[in-house]
Structure 1
């Protein structure tokens, strides 16, 4: 969590000479050399071992992370129960954005690596700098926000389906690459059902196919 800058001057050597975040931004709009310089200077590669926290309420969260490899989940605690709120994979952003503009603002969410994770750390301070000084950055930010809003809408839709079977089938359609990749207990938590219920559903659907 909140990793320190332990890289050397060749931090982007393994990534073609520049931050992978630039590649993501370029899919939405061409970038100026000044924007690319800021991104190259202020973002950096990080790694998190399986089951380690990427961020949590116990620490100031100064970054969001672009996943390059691995899967992560977000969850909240209710007494002794963990409630999975989302699951993300490669090429998605993870982290807490509630404190993007105020790093002292508390959050209730934990972000945990479910596999060994390789990522790019994106400082909140850099995001604020880009938004405040470059119109292009605001355009790119809006396009990325639209994508993540669609993800949030899909999660909300799944959670409101009345039957456990419908929720699981929709999850399988929306996230087919996660069905056999993520531990079932986290999928069950995300789908608001008991692990035993999910196991029975999977067996039933498998027998019918």
Structure 2
């Protein structure tokens, strides 16, 4: 819980009563490797903050192949939809690549925090903006790069993930086959 509060305080100020409310509304959950945080087509009922581990965001293409869209690592807020009240059914899956620990809030508790803590919406908007900027900078150059450049860029932008994520997931994220990625890695080393 301490990690979450420290993270939030980077984006705004909270007094002790506000922090106490947030702590009371939070729960800590653990997901084992390969368990889902959410699944496509199923209603998302929680807001989460990943404190430990790595989650993969993926979907199935029209050929039934898993396509990795993104990785979420520690200190990332996982929101569901644009509005707290909205019923959100994602088109993607979020699955634990490693054992994970999260701070979660029910949507009702999150709404209560939003309604009670002055400035909470501003803090969350700043977090969302930062995460969105990170995501864009991590993905934007992939289109124009060759395979080697994509992999080297991945290593630079996700330095903590290279040894924690299976090669098949990295290859999918980079838009190549696992054998192509293996050749690239062999040539680099």
Alignment of 1:34-53 (within 5 A): 34-53=17-36
Kindly indicate whether structure 1 or structure 2 has the higher relative contact order, using CA contacts under 8 Å at least 6 residues apart. 2
Aligned partner of 2:113 in structure 1 is: 130
Structure 1 SS opposite 2:119: helix
Structure 1, unmatched stretches of 5+, are: 1-17
Aligned partner of 1:93 in structure 2 is: 77
CA gap of 1:105–1:90, structure 2 versus 1, over 3 A, is closer
Structure 1 SS opposite 2:168: helix
Aligned partner of 1:8 in structure 2 is: none
Aligned partner of 1:75 in structure 2 is: 58
Aligned partner of 1:193 in structure 2 is: 176
Contact 2:22 2:113 in 1 (8 A): no
Aligned partner of 1:159 in structure 2 is: 142
1:147 aligned onto 2:144? no
Query: In 1, distance between residues paired with 2:110 and 2:168?
Result: 34
> Cα offset for 1:119?
1.1
1:106 aligned onto 2:89? yes
Q: TM-score, structure 1 length as denominator?
A: 0.81
Q: TM-score, structure 2 length as denominator?
A: 0.89
Matched positions, count = 188
* Cα deviation digits, residues 152-206 of structure 1 (max 9, x gap): 2123314323311111111111111111221000001111111111111000111
Structure 2, unmatched stretches of 5+, are: none
